[in-house]
């Protein structure tokens, strides 16, 4: 079928609007949505959930969703996760009203989740151990930050200036036989709830409505009593670092979880031929990153594109900056790295060792 998106006609297949757009290269921000499960608003909560031994009582209501995927269809605001594509529909994915609503809803989410790392100028390549600005560990993002879906979405939308400061609430950290739950990182998107119910057919997780807000938890005080199947779907489908494996295991349910498409970070690119060919043939400095977004190499070169082509396969991501005095700029960036980490980047260090052996 044909639809019009931001003034351009395109041929698309059936499906939920948010998935259709993303699959056609048009990213629409979303957190509560996941291709494996139904929209968040379809789920029904319970009167109580558990976080460890703590019983949280509320109302068996519904969750309206994160509110980040708003678009306009034929001029009306809709959530892209709740609408199927129809022949001839006209979709607007960005205008002032849409961007304002997304920012307002993002600010509400970030108010209840650590976010100083998302706005930190030194977030790329940070080892997540020490903080340049001295923020306590409780106010910083977890070690999944390099791959964190919330981080990617927040950078795409832009963190609003009026985002409330995060206050650590000391929520339960629950140690189970196979999983560790740190509820301080939960944004209550209910993806784990829907994954547990719809993918695995279990009811080990649910949510309740407390003072108008959503609280996710187990349906009983431990994993056995709640009917957990130990499938790990909750780990795979969580967009933040709430639930973690104590020992990685795989199965058909876990492997069925689709890997979501995330927006490209504004400054860091995947190291592949397609991205490298768009780099200017000018002097400058590039940095290579591994799969955990840690800097592994810093190099100043007379031709950025040519030099990066030679690095294909050596790292996962890269960034660059044009600079006529590229040798001097390389030294500055390496010194910054040394001051923060007390060592050279891994590949720079290996090159130095190689020359020392000659």
The answer as to whether 61 is a domain residue is: no
- Token pair in block for residue 203: 């009811």
The answer as to whether 11 is a domain residue is: no
Q: What number of other Cβ atoms are within 10 A of residue 31's Cβ?
A: 26
- Token pair in block for residue 235: 């780990």
Top-ranked range on mean pLDDT: pick from 66-75, 290-299, 332-341:
66-75
pTM, two decimal places: 0.79
Counted domains in the chain: 1
The answer as to whether 231 is a domain residue is: no
Cβ atoms of residues 94 and 8 within 8 Å: no
> Looking at per-residue confidence, does 33 or 358 come out higher?
33
The answer as to whether 170 is a domain residue is: no
According to DSSP H, which parts of the chain are helical?
17-23, 96-110, 116-119, 149-157, 191-194, 223-226, 233-237, 252-255, 273-276, 304-310, 326-341, 346-357
- Low-confidence winner among 19-33, 206-220, 298-312, 325-339 (lowest mean pLDDT): 325-339
pLDDT of residue 284: 96
Residue 282's pLDDT band (cuts 50, 70, 90):
very high
The answer as to whether 154 is a domain residue is: no
Mean pLDDT of 79-104: 97
Residues 6+ apart with CB under 8 A from 330: 285, 298, 299, 300
Q: Report how far residue 290's alpha carbon sits from residue 9's, in angstroms, rounded to the nearest whole number.
A: 38
By the 10 Å C-beta count (0-12 exposed, 13-18 middle, 19+ buried), 304 is classed as buried
The answer as to whether 40 is a domain residue is: no
pLDDT of residue 266: 64
Q: How far is CA 103 from CA 85, 120, 163, in A?
A: 25, 18, 9
The answer as to whether 45 is a domain residue is: no
Residue 267's pLDDT band (cuts 50, 70, 90):
confident
Q: Report how far residue 84's alpha carbon sits from residue 13's, in angstroms, rounded to the nearest whole number.
A: 10
Range of the domain at 291: 269-357
Q: Could you give phi then psi for residue 199, rounded to 5 degrees?
A: -85, -45
SS3 259: coil
Q: Report how far residue 171's alpha carbon sits from residue 191's, in angstroms, rounded to the nearest whole number.
A: 19
Cβ atoms of residues 179 and 245 within 8 Å: yes
pLDDT of residue 358: 45
The answer as to whether 212 is a domain residue is: no
Domain with 344 in it: what CATH number?
Answer: 3.40.1440.10
Read off the pLDDT of residues 242-251 as tens digits, 9 standing for 90 and up: 999 998 889 9
Tell me: pLDDT of 355 over 70.
no
Read off the pLDDT of residues 154-213 as tens digits, 9 standing for 90 and up: 999 999 999 999 999 999 999 999 999 999 999 999 999 999 999 999 999 999 999 999
């Amino acid at each position: 079928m044909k639809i019009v998106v931001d003034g351009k006609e395109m041929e698309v297949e059936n499906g939920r609007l948010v998935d259709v757009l993303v699959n056609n290269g048009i990213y629409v921000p979303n957190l509560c949505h996941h291709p494996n499960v139904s929209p968040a608003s379809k789920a029904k909560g319970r009167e109580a959930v558990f976080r460890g031994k703590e019983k949280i009582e509320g109302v068996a209501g519904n969750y309206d969703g994160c509110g980040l995927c708003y678009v306009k269809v034929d001029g009306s605001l809709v959530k892209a996760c709740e609408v199927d594509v129809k022949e001839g529909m006209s979709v607007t994915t960005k205008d002032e009203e849409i961007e304002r609503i997304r920012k307002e809803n993002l600010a509400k989410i970030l108010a209840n989740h650590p976010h100083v790392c998302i706005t930190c100028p030194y977030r790329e390549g940070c080892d997540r151990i020490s903080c340049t600005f001295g923020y306590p560990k409780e106010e910083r993002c977890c070690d999944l930050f390099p791959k964190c879906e919330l981080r990617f979405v927040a950078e795409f939308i832009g963190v609003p200036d009026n985002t409330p400061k995060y206050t650590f609430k000391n929520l339960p950290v629950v140690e189970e036989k196979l999983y560790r739950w740190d509820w301080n990182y939960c944004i209550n998107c209910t993806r784990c709830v829907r994954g547990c119910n719809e993918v695995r057919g279990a009811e080990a997780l649910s949510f309740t409505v407390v003072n108008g807000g959503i609280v996710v938890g187990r349906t009983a005080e431990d994993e056995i009593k709640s009917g957990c199947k130990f499938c790990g779907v909750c780990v795979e489908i969580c967009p933040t670092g709430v639930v973690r494996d104590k020992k990685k295991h795989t199965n058909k349910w876990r492997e069925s979880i689709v890997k979501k498409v995330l927006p490209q970070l504004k400054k860091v690119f995947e190291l592949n031929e397609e991205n490298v060919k768009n780099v200017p043939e000018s002097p400058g400095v590039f940095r290579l990153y591994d799969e955990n977004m840690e800097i592994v190499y810093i190099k100043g070169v007379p031709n950025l594109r040519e030099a990066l082509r030679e690095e294909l396969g050596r790292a996962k991501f890269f960034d660059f900056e044009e600079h006529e005095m590229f040798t001097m700029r390389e030294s500055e960036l390496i010194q910054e790295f040394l001051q923060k980490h007390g060592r050279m980047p891994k590949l720079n260090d290996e090159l130095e060792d190689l020359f020392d052996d000659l």
